[in-house]
Amino acid sequence: MGRVSSLELDPRTAARLKRDAAGLVCAVVQQHDTREVLMVAWMDDDALAQTLATGRATYFSRSRGQLWRKGDTSGHVQWVRKISLDCDGDALLLEVDQVGAACHTGDRTCFDATTLPLTAPSA
């Protein structure tokens, strides 16, 4: 998909974003109806503009250094129902309709594999 985008992010939205040093914002992805957290990814302005314009979740791959639209190679598409910006402007919440697995391992979510033990007493 590359970094080429003919779409531009609305300047009012762009002004509210607090990006990291690489120009990225964290995107938490949640199944819209069950509220299950599916994955965490990163978006730059182009990825967010593409997502808003198409309704398909598009992210920025830090390892490949380019945009990737979820499901283009796997068929596991994310249809975006709603996007919210957190109060600080440094994170996005994407509520999606996930088709197939969200994780590259084939699991439904990226949070299925390991649960860390809590040592603190519960409240």
Containing domain of residue 93, as a range? 11-98
Residue 2 lies in a domain: no
Residue 120 lies in a domain: no
Give the CATH number of the domain where residue 62 resides. 3.10.20.810
Give the Å distances, CA to CA, from 101 to 19, 31, 112.
28, 11, 11
Cα separation, 81 vs 55, whole angstroms: 7
Cα separation, 66 vs 30, whole angstroms: 23
Which pLDDT tens digits describe the chain residue by residue (123 residues)? 544 456 889 999 999 999 999 999 999 999 999 999 999 999 999 999 999 999 999 999 999 999 999 999 999 999 999 999 999 999 999 999 999 999 988 899 999 778 888 888 877
Predicted model pTM: 0.88
Residue 64: CB atoms within 10 A of its CB come to: 10
Q: Which helix (H) or strand (E) holds 115?
A: none
Count of the separate structural domains present in the chain: 1
Give 114-118's long-range contacts (Cβ < 8 A, gap of 24+). Answer: none
Residue 116 lies in a domain: no
